[in-house]
Amino acid sequence: EAQVTQNPRYLITVTGKKLTVTCSQNMNHEYMSWYRQDPGLGLRQIYYSMNVEVTDKGDVPEGYKVSRKEKRNFPLILESPSPNQTSLYFCASSLSLATGSLYNSPLHFGNGTRLTVT
């Protein structure tokens, strides 16, 4: 089954304790992205990656890191989490550049990771 898998689904941690949220897709997509969702603010993009070893900042990259060493994985790293990073996080993937077209290449989202930083 084609899917984007995030782990963990729920995470409670303390300020300053490094954590990683994993994201994996099995659709051979080049494009992957991380979003955070907060009440009243909709979905805001944190980082995105157009391909392996290519990453770029989104709207709200401060306090986050990502890596794209393999096509299928795009982990989100919080080196020193703070309470303002308490949020619902979504990973998404899309587009095989080899097809040459964006049409019919929507974003596929994971089920989310609810992070609480105390």
Partner 1 sequence: LAKTTQPISMDSYEGQEVNITCSHNNIATNDYITWYQQFPSQGPRFIIQGYKTKVTNEVASLFIPADRKSSTLSLPRVSLSDTAVYYCLVGDLLNNAGNMLTFGGGTRLMVKP
Can residue 90 be called a binding residue for partner 1 (CB under 8 A)? Answer: yes
Q: How far apart are the first and last CA of the chain?
A: 36
Question: How many Cβ atoms from other residues are within 10 Å of residue 62's Cβ?
Answer: 8
Specify the DSSP element, H or E, that contains 104. none
Can residue 74 be called a binding residue for partner 1 (CB under 8 A)? Answer: no
* Smallest distance, partner 1 to C-beta of residue 16, A: 27
* Smallest distance, partner 1 to C-beta of residue 34, A: 11
Measured CA to CA in angstroms, residue 46 lies from 28, 43, 99, 104 at distances of 21, 10, 26, 24
Q: Candidates 58, 65, 71, 73: give the one binding partner 1 (CB under 8 A).
A: 58
| Beta partners for residue 35, in sequence order | 45, 90
Number of chain residues interacting with partner 1 (CB under 8 A): 35
SS3 (DSSP) at 41: coil
Which range binds partner 1 by CB under 8 A, 16-24, 66-74, 79-87, 90-98? 90-98
Cα radius of gyration rounded to whole Å, the chain: 14
Between residues 4 and 115, which has the closer beta carbon with respect to partner 1? 4
Binding site for partner 1 (CB under 8 A): 4, 31, 33, 35, 40-45, 48, 50, 56, 58-59, 88, 90, 92, 94-95, 97, 100-112, 114
